Amino acid sequence: MVVITAFSCSVIPPCLLLTATISVSVLFCGEGAVSMALHGKSHSGGKDDPVVQYVVSHSLREHPILANLKERTLQDKWSVMLVDTEQAQFMGNLMKLIKAKKTLEIGMYTGYNALNMALSIPENGTVVACELENDYVEIARPFFKEAGVESKIDVRIQPAMQTLDELIAAGEAGTFDFAFIDADKLNYDGYYERSLQLVRKGGIVAIDNVLWSGRVVNPAADDLVSQALDALNKKLHKDERIDLSMLTMGDGLTLAFKR
Ligand SMILES: C[S@@+](CC[C@H](N)C(=O)[O-])C[C@H]1O[C@@H](n2cnc3c(N)ncnc32)[C@H](O)[C@@H]1O
């Protein structure tokens, strides 16, 4: 059942109410995400941080349709969930570096990073994008079309775990180049294990919000999300199947390079 005491959000996004098993695991809009967005993200309160603004004004090269999608997303009441834009750009550069063709977006929301992925891979590349909420997908689709990458993005509107299991059952293990995990936090471990199966050797599993506004440093006894993220961070530190970097960008981004 939902344990709301661990969070400061007074309203739960509709997508959480649609989740098959409603539990704390689906609550990703906790205080951590909110305060991170207010203080850290360049497209929200981060504009008050001169260093963040310096980074943005000296490095962000946003595709015009990504900029339009960001503007549209900022009208949504859950825009706090939007990926950090310079982080998306960084991941796009990583995808180009490893010549990624087949990618996975786990938690698509209004599609900013799915579009970013589609723009970063070749014409014959694919993005499999997992999302629960059709309303978000409807926001995303016109932007995918306008950018001319609609046919590259295969949106699966169902629980992400189901999509990942279906991909594995269909024999697609070892065929993906890049995966980005950004959905419900208590399922991260399951997403990580499946993503690691799905990416090839040398492929990358990127994991968002691994710092959870710093709460992972000393998780409170009733803060199950911070505890889960901390446990995953500790597990990855010892995981011999990967090489690893944890970046302080955005709300914390882990890069797991499959050995
Ligand atoms: C932080 S947002 C993703 C932001 C997105 N990566 C971007 O580029 O802006 C998390 C998304 O995960 C979705 N989500 C939550 N639980 C899910 C689940 N079990 N399966 C699929 N999507 C889920 C939510 O509806 C929400 O849109």
pLDDT reading at 68 higher than 50 = yes
Per-residue confidence (pLDDT) for residue 9, from 0 to 100: 32
pLDDT reading at 48 higher than 90 = no
For the chain, give percent helix, strand, coil, nearest 5: 50, 15, 35
- HSE-CB for 133 with a 13 A CA cutoff: 18
pLDDT band for position 44 (50/70/90)? low
Distance from residue 104's CA to the centre of ligand 1 (Å) = 12
Per-residue confidence (pLDDT) for residue 38, from 0 to 100: 39
Which tokens go with 227? 């505890």
Q: How far is CA 42 from CA 45, 47, 54, 70, 91, in A?
A: 7, 5, 10, 11, 16
DSSP letter, residue 256:
E
Which tokens go with 21? 């098993």
What percent of the chain is predicted at pLDDT more than 70?
82
Residue 110 φ/ψ, nearest 5 degrees: -85, 10
CATH topology of domain 4-258: Rossmann fold (3.40.50)
pTM: 0.87
What percent of the chain is predicted at pLDDT more than 90?
79
Least confident range of 27-36, 39-48, 116-125, 212-221: 27-36
Helices (H) and strands (E) in the chain, counts: 10, 7
Q: Which of 131, 161, 178, 185 to mutate to test the pocket of ligand 1 (most atoms within 8 A of CB)?
A: 131
Per-residue confidence (pLDDT) for residue 49, from 0 to 100: 84
H-type alpha helices, 134-187? 134-146, 160-169
| Residues 102-141: tens digit of each pLDDT | 999 999 999 999 999 999 999 999 999 999 999 999 999 9
Ligand 1 pocket member 252 (CB < 6 A): no
Ligand 1 pocket member 91 (CB < 6 A): no
Distance from residue 160's CA to the centre of ligand 1 (Å) = 9
Task: Identify the CA nearest to 253 among candidates 29, 14, 1, 36.
Answer: 36
| Residues 169-202: tens digit of each pLDDT | 999 999 999 999 999 999 999 999 999 999 999 9
pLDDT reading at 14 higher than 70 = no
